[in-house]
Amino acid sequence: MKGIKIFTYVISVIFIISLSSWCYGEVELDIAPMEKIEQDALYYTIQGFVGDWWNGSDLYPDPCGWTPIQGVSCDLFNGFWYVTVLNIGPIHDNSLSCAKNLEFRSQLFEFKYLKSLSFFKCFQSQHKHQVTIPDRNWEKLASSMESLEFRSNSGLIGKVPSCFGVLKNLKSLVLLENGLTGEVPQDIGNLIKLKRLVLSGNYFTGHIPNIFSGLKELLIFDLSRNSFYGTLPLSLGNLTSLLKLDLSHNYLEGNLIKEISYLKNLTLLDLRSNRFCGGLTLSLQDMYSLEEMVLSNNAIGGNIMTLKWEKLHNLIILDLSNIGLIGGIPESLSKLKKLRFLGLSDNNLIGNLSPKLSTLDTLNALYVSGNNLSGELNFSMDFYTKMGTHFGALNNPNLCYKVGVMSTSAVPYGVKPCHHEIKLLESNSRTKQLNGYVNKTSHYIASLGFLSYAPNGFWWIFLQEIWIMCLV
């Protein structure tokens, strides 16, 4: 018993000493000093973006201490605080707001350990005080910089500096929704550690350069919403780690290159709203990992039956609207058990719409409007109720829905009912049947020699009616 008490006492002492050391360490961390050159660099840099009125006077004991600046993060190196993250702009409610007349100051490039630099809604003057990205001194950040982002800066204009290519450790380069122009610098191909390259929503032009052979680690590649033209570079096939490829809303043309099938890990392929042609390349069906394939609003053409769609068993979204497809809608689409969205509108598709599509439990949007589909829609009431307004089949002149299957509230918009045509068909069939009886009857009665001289007489008509009644 005495031994247990001694053991408990020892453990308690060790715990108290450990706790005291931990607390003391925390205090030491909080009051760690910041080199004056680092602090001055931070203050001058921030003043360049928010105005000289800001001097950090309310910070204690320094920008990385107990009252840090929102958007600034620091780490300890050799017992001193150094800035590692600098986010400029209204990212948070209490972030510092950018001034209208702002500037990049040279002190920005004096941070020794800066890993991440971003600007969000900071350069907003589209006519006055427009700003360009500095084209010098980036090499000073080359050893530490891993992420560089400019987002939603409409007043940021000019070209992308070619010296970005010296940022050899850069993993993320995001230039999203700015006013940038010109072509993509060739030097971007030197950033072999890139995992994310986003240049979306600018005014970039020219060909997509054939510079991507070395970007083996790239996961996200987004050049959407620009003015790129020409054909796809073959080096896209070297981006074997790529997960998302978005080249939508440009002026790209030519065939869908077979090298695109080398991207075996790709989950998103978005090529909508371009000028691609040449049909659906067979290599598309080998992209087994695809979850979203969006090719709408192109001039691709070709027969939709060309591909074995069942191979793309991971597809969740498939949009082939307005690309000039011909042929019938393949039943193999009904084997895509994860499919949620199927867009086939505004093509030249023919034939019936397979009721097997209703067996897709996950499907919640089906659009086949603007084709030449025909026949009856043989879906259940449950299917129409489930789809609601997300089922579109209008502008198919020979397509109709079966009356009596659904309530009027679930009738597919723009599709006519089939019952009038069915009744007319039955009526025509009945008429033909009776005419057949009449013809047979006439021949039979005539063969008996009755009233052959007066075929339109009263007795002749009377006998015909009696004979028909007997046959019916």
The residue extents of the domains of the chain are 1-30, 36-353, 421-471
Q: Rounded distance, CA 212 to CA 208, Å? A: 10
Establish how many alpha carbons lie within 13 A of residue 176's alpha carbon, considering only the half-sphere containing its beta carbon: 16
259, 282 contact by CB (below 8 A): no
Q: Looking at domain 36-353, what is its CATH homologous superfamily?
A: Ribonuclease Inhibitor (3.80.10.10)
Q: What is the pLDDT of residue 459?
A: 36
SS3 127: coil
Name the DSSP class of 97.
P
E-assigned strand segments in 261-407: 268-270, 275-276, 292-294, 317-319, 326-328, 341-343, 348-351, 365-367, 372-377, 391-392, 398-401
Structure tokens at 54: 């800001």
Q: What is the pLDDT of residue 55?
A: 82
Cis peptide bond N-terminal to 161, omega within 30: no
Instruction: Give the closest residue to 251 by CA, choosing from 277, 290, 269.
Output: 277
pLDDT score, position 259: 93
Instruction: Compute the C-alpha angle 305/310/312, nearest 5°.
Output: 105
**What residues does 244 pair with on adjacent strands?**
220, 268
- The answer to whether the CB of 161 falls within 8 A of the CB of 132 is no
Contact 60, 89 (CB under 8 A): no
- What is the per-residue pLDDT for 420? 54
Mean pLDDT per 10-residue interval, the chain, length 472 residues: 47 43 42 87 93 82 77 92 94 81 94 96 84 96 97 96 96 98 95 98 97 94 98 94 98 95 97 97 95 98 96 98 97 97 98 94 97 93 90 95 73 83 43 40 35 37 41 41
* Token duo for residue 259: 């090298």
| Cβ partners under 8 Å of residue 410, min gap 6 | 381, 384, 385, 388
For every residue of 39-62, DSSP letters joined together read HHHHHHHHHHHH-TT---TT-SSS
Whole-number Å distance between alpha carbons of 98 and 51: 8
**Whole-number pLDDT of residue 3:** 52
Q: Which residue has the tokens 């605080």?
A: 81
Residue 466 to residue 282: CA distance in whole angstroms:
67
